[in-house]
Amino acid sequence: MDRWDKARQQAAAQGIDALLITPGADLRYLTGYHALPLERLTCLVLPVDGEPTLVVPGLERAAAEAAGVTLPIAPWNETEDPFELVARLVGTARRIGVDDHMWAARVFALRDALPEAEIVLGGAVVQALRIRKDPDEVAALREAGAAIDRVHAQVGQWLKPGRTEAEVGADIERAILAEHATCDFVIVGSGPNGASPHHEVSDRVIRAGDPVVVDIGGTMPSGYCSDCTRTYVAGGVRPPQEFLDLYQVLLQAQTAQREHARPGVTAESVDAVGRDIINQAGYGDLFIHRTGHGIGQETHEEPYIVAGNTVVLEDGMAFSIEPGIYREGHFGARIEDIVICTADGLEVLNNAPRDLIVLD
């Protein structure tokens, strides 16, 4: 059964008569087309009963065909109203699901073009398919994990006292681009900047003995993403004992979470296993984010590994395990691996050393 048929089944189960999907990961998943998010409308029309059609601006038709799109393409020219074209293709459908990332202006235009229809969020339809990776997707994520591991293996060349975070980050970005199609993010948080989980980079000069959080990721030519965090100590100088103690607790928590995660347990239980260890060590208030997020054609997608998420993990679900401890004004630490549930356990896709990495 192809992805279109599976999406139709999911839509019907949710009482949706047709799906409308604009550029983004859902469109790539269903059609293989990485459409640009232009001001001109591109939209997949996927009725529960009927054939799918890709609506594209006339000048983008060749690009869609070159991308290997095999479903019927309906081009529109500059003087046409593409929303009226979508309305004609939707036909008698009266409950229409739109992708969760559709621009608001387009949602309102569709409401005007389809005044008799109820427009609802339809992202959960495709997400129910994307949350479980098939063997080809697992292979793509495995390749992405190995690629970002190779970048981490080179960090010691660049992370030196006397250099700025921005300088180190530029070197890392070049290494990511050598392994990936795009560099999606580079975080180099040294010393007190490591206590900000999404710090990125700055002109702060790295000092000997600084703990440095390096969180990096990119997108492979396959369209699948990498994401991995390791914590380093610059310059071969021993960091404060308080940091060493904190890091051992973090490593214990992340190890316990990897050992716990597998099909049949809930997403929130993976979070709880590590959080309990960190709480018992007295650092509970310093673990300020969820344990993880799903990953695939987007760096962040379902399932989210967080308290309150009772989703039961299944074979094919891919997600990060990344607890962190952050002492504001002093330092931070995070360990992150991408993992995939298998039929009998867990495959860990990142295998760079997890022990604190003290660089010369």
- Which phi and psi (to 5°) does residue 56 adopt? -140, 155
If asked whether residues 173 and 284 sit together in one domain, one would say yes
Structural domains counted in the chain: 2
Per-residue pLDDT of the chain (360 residues; tens, 9 = 90+): 589 899 999 999 999 999 999 999 999 999 999 998 999 999 999 999 988 999 999 999 999 999 999 999 999 999 999 999 999 999 999 999 999 999 999 999 999 999 999 999 999 999 999 999 999 999 999 999 999 999 999 999 999 999 999 999 999 999 999 999 999 999 999 999 999 999 999 999 999 999 999 999 999 999 999 999 999 999 989 999 999 999 999 999 999 999 999 999 999 999 999 999 999 999 999 999 999 999 999 999 999 999 999 999 999 999 999 999 999 999 999 999 999 999 999 999 999 999 999 998
If asked whether residues 114 and 168 sit together in one domain, one would say no
Range of the domain at 254: 135-358
Tokens of 6: 């599976």
If asked whether residues 177 and 322 sit together in one domain, one would say yes
If asked whether residues 114 and 150 sit together in one domain, one would say no
If asked whether residues 92 and 157 sit together in one domain, one would say no
CA–CA distance, 245 with 249 (Å, rounded to integer) = 7
CA–CA distance, 178 with 169 (Å, rounded to integer) = 14
Q: Among 79, 113, 130, which residue terminates a domain?
A: 130
* Reported pTM: 0.94
Q: Among 130, 148, 165, which residue terminates a domain?
A: 130
CA–CA distance, 190 with 147 (Å, rounded to integer) = 24
If asked whether residues 87 and 154 sit together in one domain, one would say no
